[in-house]
Amino acid sequence: MNIFRLAGDMTHLASVLVLLLKIHTIKSCAGVSLKTQELYAIVFATRYLDIFTSFYSIYNTLMKLIFLGSSFSIVWYMRYHKTVRRTYDREQDTFRHWFLVLPCLLLALLIHEKFTFLEVLWTFSLYLEAVAILPQLVLLQRTRNIDNLTGQYVFLLGGYRGFYILNWIYRYLTEPHFVHWITWIAGLVQTLLYADFFYYYFQSWKNNKKLQLPA
Amino acid sequence: VARDDVKDEL
């Protein structure tokens, strides 16, 4: 564990907690993409199957359980909670997220380190996580006026990605065999998807204005 | 050669 990975994990945790808090306390999921949340639930469910097969640390297991629990809770709130579900922007959140799942699965079947069930699913989760934010970014662009919490959620998620890149550079320099092309390229693609959002986020922050994305 | 060390990440 290094400081960059810890900072990345903490911003990731904060992003999820901000979103859960928003949904739980103000009973609204306006501006939140259910498609993205479902994709994250799939990402965690396929990546963390190894809690049954390998143990790394209490920290690792605990965080996995938190991410699994929170992502499925958010999906549950948005789909089934009687107040929250009515605030969901169903008409705007039209991204065909299943069209992301299939190509990622095919890619994982073609490009992986080992052809085993767990390894292919783990690789699939990396590819899917890279593109899972797309429905959320499209929804933000469509609704344009973004409340602070939704903006902070995406900002914190982007921060998590940035710290993970620093973590990989650090590990590459300090651990002799740390070379993981699949993880790095998927992670880099994911981080680049946030670049446009970050540009407008900082513009609005600099001008002390409410975040607005161009149509 | 890649080892499984990246799996300790989240």
Mean pLDDT value across residues A169-182: 94
Which residue from A122, A76, A124, A89 is spatially nearest to A104, judged by alpha carbons?
A124
Q: What is the mean pLDDT of residues A170-179?
A: 93
Higher pLDDT, residue A100 or A199: A100
* Probe site for chain A from B1, B6, B8 (most A CB atoms < 10 A): B6
- When the pLDDT of each residue in chain A is averaged and rounded to a whole number, the result is 94
Give A154's pLDDT tier (boundaries 50, 70, 90).
very high
pLDDT band at A109 (very low <50, low <70, confident <90, very high): very high
Helix (H) / strand (E) element for A156: namely helix A148-174
Amino acid B2: pLDDT: 46
Contact A57 B8 (CB under 8 A): yes
| CA dihedral (A20, A22, A25, A27) positive or negative | negative
Q: How sure is the predictor about A197, in pLDDT bands with cuts at 50, 70 and 90?
A: confident
> Angle A134-143/A195-206 helices, nearest 10 degrees?
40
Instruction: List the single residue in A with minimal CA-CA distance to B1.
Output: A177
Does ipTM come in above 0.95? no
For residue B1, the chain A residues in CB contact (below 8 A) are 177, 179
Query: Interface of chain A against chain B, CB under 8 Å?
Result: 5, 9, 12, 50, 54, 56-57, 60, 63-64, 67, 113, 122, 164, 167, 175, 177-181, 183
**Which of A15, A113, A190 to probe the B interface (max B CBs under 10 A)?**
A113
If one compares A49 and A207, the residue with the highest pLDDT of the two is: A49
Percent of chain A with pLDDT over 90: 83
**What is the pLDDT, as a whole number, of residue A105?**
98
Residue B3 confidence (pLDDT): 58
Region of A144 (left: φ > 0; alpha: ψ -120 to 50; beta: rest) is left
Comparison of pLDDT for A58 and A200, the residue scoring more: A58
Whether residue A5 and residue B9 make contact (CB cut-off 8 A), yes or no, is yes
pLDDT tens figures, A34-90: 999 999 999 999 999 999 999 999 999 999 999 999 999 999 999 999 999 999 999
| SS3 at position A86 | helix
CA distances from A27 to A4, A13, A21, A72, A81 (A): 34, 20, 9, 17, 9
pLDDT at A82: 96
What pLDDT shows up at residue A210?
A: 79
